[in-house]
Amino acid sequence: MLTFVRGKNGDDTELISNLDPMRETKKIEIENLRLAYGGKEVIHGISFDVRANEIFGIIGPAQSGKTSLLRCINRTIEFTAGAKVQGMIKVDGQDVSRMKNVYELRRQVGMVAPLPVGLPLSIYDNVAFAPRAAGMRNKHHLDALVEKCLRQAALWDEVTDRLDSLGTRLSGGQQQRLTIARALSHQPEILCLDEFSIAIDPVTTMRIEDVLKELRKEMTIILVTNLVQQARRLADRTMFLWNGEIIELDSNEVMFSDNPRNRKTYEYVNGIFG
């Protein structure tokens, strides 16, 4: 990609090449976001953006506002009585607070919770549930979508001969991958993962991490994690959120170096506090 910029004499004489296209595409833009539960403010006027097709890591101690932030993006925060959101959140340039069809927003922004919550349905029906609710009835199309999502979640080979079995009978790691497959069945453009590996073994965690590296080719991923090394392995950029404020946001090369811009970042990622 080539971009001309204005030279000192007013001519387009300077040339910049090989610009990173991710820097030009903002998938999510957040400006002066504040969140309060009742009279207690828990997110204090934060602003940042998430780029298209990046894995954006969010780290920070418990009660820093990480989960609440995700819930603001897809407006599931509205299920919490007394929650008050101020500021602006845009997805693809559109203010989410003005979107009349909130269900469309939640299809666009998929969410995976810390603990797997399987529907009391078959493996197949767990994945097919949302597409059916959205009006998909063609069996051939459903079959293809269920297989695609299970493959994307690295689960297909393990369940292909028992799709009629209850999803709740799978192991914990398999149920978490089923949860990911169910989130993918919405065909989201953004996938938010909130501590997805908190209840699964390291081997399964690494398998899902490999899945996420592949999925970033198709979508934007926001990864909330208490595992600093997980953010270091996966994210393109990482944000350190503490007590509802952004302490630092930068490339992983800076965030996890010996010289991040803020001393608190160094102390947190190295386990000195947190």
Provide the CATH number for the domain around residue 206. Answer: 3.40.50.300
Dist. CA 189–CA 200, nearest whole Å: 25
5 within a domain of the structure (yes/no): no
Which range marks the domain in which residue 252 is found? 27-269
Of these ranges, 86-90, 100-104, 201-205, the one predicted with the greatest mean pLDDT is 86-90
Cβ contacts of 23 within 8 Å, gap of 6 or more? 51
Query: Would the pLDDT of 60 be above 90?
Result: yes
Query: Would the pLDDT of 114 be above 90?
Result: no
Q: What is the 3-state secondary structure (H, E, C) of 151-188?
A: HHCCCHHHHCCCCCCEHHHCCHHHHHHHHHHHHHCCCC
> What's the structural domain count of the chain?
1
Angle at 193 between CA 190 and CA 197, to 5 degrees: 150
**pLDDT tier at 274 (50, 70, 90 boundaries)?**
low
140 within a domain of the structure (yes/no): yes
57 within a domain of the structure (yes/no): yes
Query: Would the pLDDT of 23 be above 80?
Result: no
205 within a domain of the structure (yes/no): yes
Q: Which residue has the higher pLDDT, 24 or 178?
A: 178
| pLDDT tens-digit series, residues 152-179 | 898 999 999 999 999 999 998 899 899 9
Hey, what are 118's tokens? 């399987």
Query: Would the pLDDT of 9 be above 60?
Result: no
pLDDT, residue 255, reads: 96
**Dihedral (CA of 121, 124, 127, 128) sign:** negative
242 within a domain of the structure (yes/no): yes
15 within a domain of the structure (yes/no): no
Query: Would the pLDDT of 192 be above 50?
Result: yes
39 alpha carbon, distance to own chain's centre: 28
107 within a domain of the structure (yes/no): yes
10 within a domain of the structure (yes/no): no
Query: Would the pLDDT of 93 be above 50?
Result: yes
Among 112-116, 206-210, 214-218, whose mean pLDDT is lowest?
Answer: 112-116
Residues in the chain: 274
